[in-house]
Amino acid sequence: MSLGSNLDGGARGRLTIGDAMDRLVRGGLPLRFTAYDGSAAGPPDAELGMDLRTERGLAYLMTAPGDLGMARAYVSGDLDLTGVHPGDPYDAMVLLKDHTKFRVPTPTEALRIARDLGLSHLRPPAPPPQEHLPRWRRAVEGLRHSMTRDAEVISHHYDVSNRFYELVLGPSMAYTCALYETPSASLEQAQAAKFDLVCRKLALQPGQRLLDVGCGWGTMVRHAAREHGVRALGVTLSLEQAQWAKEAIDREGLGDLAEVRHLDYRDVVESGFDAVSSIGLTEHIGVRNYPAYFRHLRDRLKPGGRLLNHCITRPHNGRQETGAFIDRYVFPDGELIGSGTIVSAAQDQGLEVQHSENLRLHYAATLRDWNRNLVEHWDECVAEVGEGTARVWGLYIAGSRIGFERDEVELHQVLATRNHADGRSDFPMRPDW
């Protein structure tokens, strides 16, 4: 029987949710799909599955086809993934990504599906509360990456709960790519290795001054002060991060060397720093702001000083929109670009780029370990932030892991120097780390 005759032939009976799902996926679903109306699709013996539990979930799928609708239904609990833990849906996401190809129905097919599944489901339900997209955001493009707007979106992502981050990130409280020197290294060992690599690339010495922009919970600041005797200043737009970092500095007795301020990096007026580190900030500032960003950081350095820029990148330098799920649930206003654009932007502001390194596979391993922590502490995470937010994080971390494994995204460290007026950089002829 042809697809057209099955969908268009009204005399053949009313379509179920399972019927519609089965017919809209090229080659059939790779997992078992079940729905609240008792229908099903996909192989009956599949180890993994999806269970559509409610009419609201169906409305999410019908009014926002693709990843956004599925994410809304999943975050709200209207759609479950079976056979995987909600803290680590990696296996199900790989299966869906590799073997699920939806097709666009013809107008006649779409009308038949909408009529049989219920026209009432074409009324969009309110998005889950975790979704972040003010109505004026895209209409008033000029307000993106203003100080007020950046503070708002950083708070959305980072001021979730310090306890939640402790459970997911582990004792290091490092929310950036780690460095696995051996395949068996633990997450904590890998994060310590990453910060030490940054310190070595910056050639930090006792008594020097370090500025760490976008410092998070102050891990780099504390590492540099504790392990290298550096006087370190960190700034973050997240009030909760700054408060946590200050308490950690006091606990470790580093108050004479380390400081964290609740401050926009653009408001740092001190200069003459021996080194500047930026670990995971560039993703938030907007590509069009790179010139001002690198100019500001260059001006904070003394001649001969070093800048280490560590950020997520794309494998190309073309403009590409962030996916709807990441944009609305994880990093509002986030922008990624290739490392070539970052290198060019730094050079155009008078910095000499000395070294670039891609740590893509290290980030995949980092995300794997964050998923593991989320699973291990799932009940406490749910109690802390609610199941919807915990589901967002399971989905986001697992999906990001796939992206890094498949070179859809990368992670680059770019090391640059502010040279002396006569062109000297004080950088050795070969890297000294």
Quick check: 163 and 386 in contact, CB under 8 A? no
| C-alpha span between 240 and 262 (Å, rounded) | 9
Residue 49 pLDDT greater than 50, yes or no:
yes
Does 181 lie in the same domain as 101? no
Band the pLDDT of 145: cuts 50, 70, 90: low
Which whole number is the average pLDDT over 363-375?
98
CA angle 142, 148, 153 (to 5 degrees): 90
Q: What does the mean pLDDT of the chain come to?
A: 91
Does 151 lie in the same domain as 108? no
Band the pLDDT of 154: cuts 50, 70, 90: low
Does 169 lie in the same domain as 73? no
Residue 132 within a domain? no
Q: What's the pLDDT score for residue 66? A: 79
Domain limits at 289? 147-417
Does 246 lie in the same domain as 111? no
Q: What's the pLDDT score for residue 136? A: 47
DSSP code, position 88: B
Residue 142 within a domain? no
Between 109 and 412, residue with greater pLDDT: 412
Reduced DSSP (H G I as helix, E B as strand, rest coil) percent helix, strand, coil of the chain, to 5: 45, 15, 35
Does 180 lie in the same domain as 111? no
Tens of pLDDT, residue by residue over 276-304, are: 999 999 999 999 999 999 999 999 999 99
Residue 151 pLDDT greater than 90, yes or no:
no
Runs of H (alpha helix) within 214-327: 219-228, 239-251, 290-300, 324-325
Rounded to two decimals, the pTM is 0.91
Band the pLDDT of 191: cuts 50, 70, 90: very high
Residue 141 within a domain? no
Q: What's the pLDDT score for residue 97? A: 93
Tens of pLDDT, residue by residue over 257-266, are: 999 999 999 9
Question: Can you list the pairs that 20-26 forms with residues at least 24 positions away whose Cβ atoms lie under 8 Å?
Answer: 20/113, 20/116, 20/117, 23/109, 24/102, 24/103, 24/105, 24/113, 25/100, 25/101, 25/102, 25/103, 26/101, 26/102, 26/103
Please say whether the dihedral angle defined by the alpha carbons of residues 411, 300, 225 and 154, taken in this order, is positive or negative: negative
Residue 101 pLDDT greater than 90, yes or no:
no
Does 409 lie in the same domain as 291? yes
Residue 310 pLDDT greater than 60, yes or no:
yes
Residue 433 within a domain? no
Residue 391 pLDDT greater than 60, yes or no:
yes
Residue 53 within a domain? yes
Q: What's the pLDDT score for residue 2? A: 34
Band the pLDDT of 139: cuts 50, 70, 90: very low
Percent of the chain scoring above 90 in pLDDT: 81
Does 398 lie in the same domain as 260? yes
324: which 2 tokens?
A: 């709807």
Residue 215 pLDDT greater than 60, yes or no:
yes
Which of the listed residues 107, 122, 137 is the one where a domain comes to its end? 122
Which of the listed residues 85, 107, 122 is the one where a domain comes to its end? 122
Which whole number is the average pLDDT over 298-313?
98
Q: What's the pLDDT score for residue 102? A: 85
Among 307, 282, 304, 302, residue whose Cα is nearest residue 292? 282
Residue 432 within a domain? no
Band the pLDDT of 333: cuts 50, 70, 90: confident
Tens of pLDDT, residue by residue over 64-88, are: 977 899 999 999 999 999 999 999 9
Does 188 lie in the same domain as 152? yes
Which of the listed residues 105, 122, 139 is the one where a domain comes to its end? 122
Does 373 lie in the same domain as 323? yes
Quick check: 64 and 72 in contact, CB under 8 A? yes
Residue 193 pLDDT greater than 90, yes or no:
yes
Number of domain units in the chain: 2
The label of the residue with tokens 């890094």 reads 404
Does 185 lie in the same domain as 241? yes
Read off the CATH number of the domain in which 239 is found.
Answer: 3.40.50.150
Does 104 lie in the same domain as 8? yes
Lowest mean pLDDT segment, chosen from 228-232, 316-320, 326-330, 407-411? 326-330
Between 432 and 227, residue with greater pLDDT: 227
Does 208 lie in the same domain as 107? no
Q: What's the pLDDT score for residue 140? A: 55
Residue 155 pLDDT greater than 90, yes or no:
no
Residue 56 pLDDT greater than 60, yes or no:
yes
Count of CA atoms in the C-beta half-sphere (13 A) of 150: 19
Residue 236 within a domain? yes
Band the pLDDT of 372: cuts 50, 70, 90: very high
Q: Which residues contact 387 (CB under 8 A, 6 or more apart)?
A: 77, 86
| Residue 229 to residues 198, 210, 258, 315, Cα–Cα distance (Å) | 15, 10, 10, 37
Residue 127 within a domain? no
